[in-house]
Structure 1
Amino acid sequence: MTTRMNEYKQQIITDFNSRINYDNEFRYRFAKPLIELAQLKPGQRVLDVATGTGIVAIAAAKIVGDAGYVLGVDISTGMLAQAQRKVELEKLQNIELLEADADDLNFDDNSFDVIFCSAAIAYLTDVFTSLCQWYRFLNTGGIVAFSCFAETAHTASILFREKAQIYGITVPNPNATLGNPEKCQYLLQQVGFQNIKVVTQQFGFYLNDAESAWNANANSAYGYQVFQLPPDKLAQLKTEYIAEIHASSTEQGFWHDVNSLFVFARKS
C-alpha cells in the first residue's frame, strides 16, 4: 500500500473514531429509504459494508429475525464499539460485527442475500472492483442497496474545495464517481447487475455554525490535505472560508445541499 493510501486510510480511521456523537435524527432518516428499498425478508443473510454505528445493520437484524443473519463490517473501532453497545442493548443474537477494511473483504461466493452500504461507498478506493466483489458475494437473485450523494451535493464542502484550490491544494470530490443516476446505472450494468433502480431524495439543511463546517471538512479524508499548508496560510484559508459561509448565509443560515441517491440492483 502506498504512503498516500496509508495516509488516506488512517485519516478515515481517525475521523470516524473521533465521532462520539455520530448518531442523530438525520442519520436514522437517511438510513430508512435504503432499508425500505431492499424489502428485506425473514431468514435472509445480510452484509452491511462500512456499518458505522450499525444503524442499517441493526434495523436489518430486526427484520430478518432469528432465522436470518447480519454481518456489519467497518474499519473504525470507535464506530464498532458504539454499534456493539446498541446490539447488546437490543439483545440481538443474529448480528455480528467485524473490524475490516471495506476494500479488502473476502467472503465465499454466494454468501449473502443482501449487501448494504449506507453513505460510505465514496470512501472505497476502487468502486468498480468493490461492486464486482459484492456481485460475487451475493446469491443469484441477491440484492445490493447503497446510498451516495449527488456530485453537486454538500454545498459547504464544494466551497471548501474551491477555497483550498486557490491555495494550491486539490481536494478530491468523493461524489464524482457515482454522482448521478446515469453513473450509478452504468457502473452496475458493467458489473452485471440488473433491475437497477435509483431514487433521489433531498436531505439538505441550513448550517448555522461555520466553525463546525470547517472542522468537518478539514478533518475528513476529503479535506485533511489543507494541513499541507504553512500555519499562517492555513489560518488565512480558514478565515476566508468562514467569511464566505457567513456572506452566503440568509437569516435561516447557509443552505447545505444534500441531494442523495438510493440505489438498488439485483444479481442476475
Structure 2
Amino acid sequence: MSAPPPDGQRTATLKRHVAELFDRAAPTYDRVGVEFFSPHGTRLVELAEIKPGQRVLDLGFGRGACLFPAADAVGPTGRVVGIDISPTMLDRTSAEVAERGLSQVRLGLGDAERPDFPEGSFDTVTCGHVMSFLPSPAAAVAGAHRMLRPGGSFALSTLGRADADARWQPVFGAVVAYLPPDAFLPQAINQDAPIRGVPAWEAALRDAGFGSVRTVTERHRTRFASAEDWWAFGWSHGQRLVWEQIPEESLEPARHATFTALAEISGPNGCLTWDTDVHYTIGERT
C-alpha cells in the first residue's frame, strides 16, 4: 500500500477536483428552472443587512446567488468583489455582470480559504453554500475575519441533511445503491477538518474572533415540475459529483430506479416538493 500524499498535496488535489467539478456544472448551475440557490442567496444578503455604499466580498460566487442581491443592496456607490475557484463560473458570471451593467462588481479567480486582500477591506463577507466544498472551512472563517473591518459582518449559509425530508430517503437510497463501494462523496472533501451542524459553525466563528454570533434556520421548499426536472437539477450543481461516479452502464438503471422512487412521492401531474433546512449563520468582527 502506498503512503498517503502529504497534506498540502492532498489539499491541492482536492481543490483542483472541486474547481473542475464546478467548471462542469457552471453552464447549468442555478439555471434549470428550479428555485434553490438564488432565494437562499437573497435571504442571506437580507439577513446580513448590507447597506448602500458598503464594500462586500462574496466567497465562491458561483452564478451570483449572493453576488447579484449584494450588488443591488450596495448600489452604484458601493463595491462587491467576488472570488471563485472555477474559471468557467468566472467566465459565465462575468458575462452576466457585463450584461446587467453592474459597474460596482469585480470578479476574479480566488480561493475562499485564502482571500488575497488587505486586512479590513470589507464591511461584509458573504459565503453561500460553499463551506462543504472546502478542505479546511475553518481557514475560510479565519480569512473572512481578516478581511472585515471592525464591526463588519460575516454571513454564511449551510444546508441541513438532504435526507431530513423522510419522503426522499428511498430516492437517495436508490442512487447510493448504484455507487461503487469506494465512491468519493462530497462530505469527504473536508473529512480531515469537518464542521458539522449549527453549534459547530457558531463555535468556529467564535474561535475565529467573531462576536454576536447567531443562526437563523428556515425551512425551504424546493419544487420540481417533474422527475426529469429533479434529475436535471442534480446534474446542475455539486451533487453531480455523486452522479458522475455511477458506472456508465449503470446510469440508466439508476435513473429508472430513482424515477420509480420519485413516482411514490409525486403529486398531481408528477410534481415534487423537497423540504430542507437552510441555516444562515452571522457574526461580527469585534
- Class of the TM-score when normalised by the shorter of the 2 chains: 0.7 to 0.9
Paired residue for 1:96?
106
Paired residue for 1:232?
249
Q: Residues 203-218 of structure 1: matches in 2 within 5 Å?
A: 203-217=220-234
Q: Does residue 137 of structure 2 align to residue 127 of structure 1?
A: yes
Pair 245,143 (structure 1): closer, same or farther in 2 beyond 3 Å: same
Q: Which moved more, 1:83-92 or 1:168-177?
A: 168-177
Contact 1:154/1:256, CA 8 A, preserved across alignment: no
Q: Residues 52-67 of structure 1: matches in 2 within 5 Å?
A: 52-67=62-77
Pair 13,246 (structure 1): closer, same or farther in 2 beyond 3 Å: same
Pair 206,192 (structure 1): closer, same or farther in 2 beyond 3 Å: same
Aligned partner (choices 168, 173, 180) of residue 162 of structure 1: 173
Shift in Å at residue 198 of structure 1?
A: 0.9
The AA in structure 1 aligned to 2:234 is: N
Paired residue for 1:171?
185
Question: 2 CA distance for matches of 1:227 and 1:27?
Answer: 21
Give the unaligned 5+ runs of structure 2.
Answer: 1-8
Give the unaligned 5+ runs of structure 1.
Answer: none
Question: 1 CA distance for matches of 2:274 and 2:187?
Answer: 16
- 1:11-67 deviation digits (Å, cap 9, x = unpaired): 122112343836876544322321221122333221011122334333323433444
Q: Residues 126-145 of structure 1: matches in 2 within 5 Å?
A: 126-145=136-155
Q: Residues 1-268 of structure 1: matches in 2 within 5 Å?
A: 1-2=9-10, 3=13, 5-19=15-29, 21=31, 26-152=36-162, 161-167=172-178, 168=181, 169=183, 171-173=185-187, 180-217=197-234, 220-251=237-268, 253-268=271-286
Instruction: Give aligned-pair identity as a percent.
Output: 23
Contact 1:53/1:83, CA 8 A, preserved across alignment: yes
Aligned residues: 268
The AA in structure 1 aligned to 2:220 is: F
Shift in Å at residue 88 of structure 1?
A: 3.3
TM-score normalised by the chain length of structure 1: 0.82
Q: Which moved more, 1:228-237 or 1:47-56?
A: 228-237
Shift in Å at residue 114 of structure 1?
A: 0.6
Secondary structure of the residue that 2:26 maps to in structure 1? helix
Pair 118,219 (structure 1): closer, same or farther in 2 beyond 3 Å: closer
Question: 1 CA distance for matches of 2:76 and 2:236?
Answer: 40
Contact 2:34/2:222, CA 8 A, preserved across alignment: no
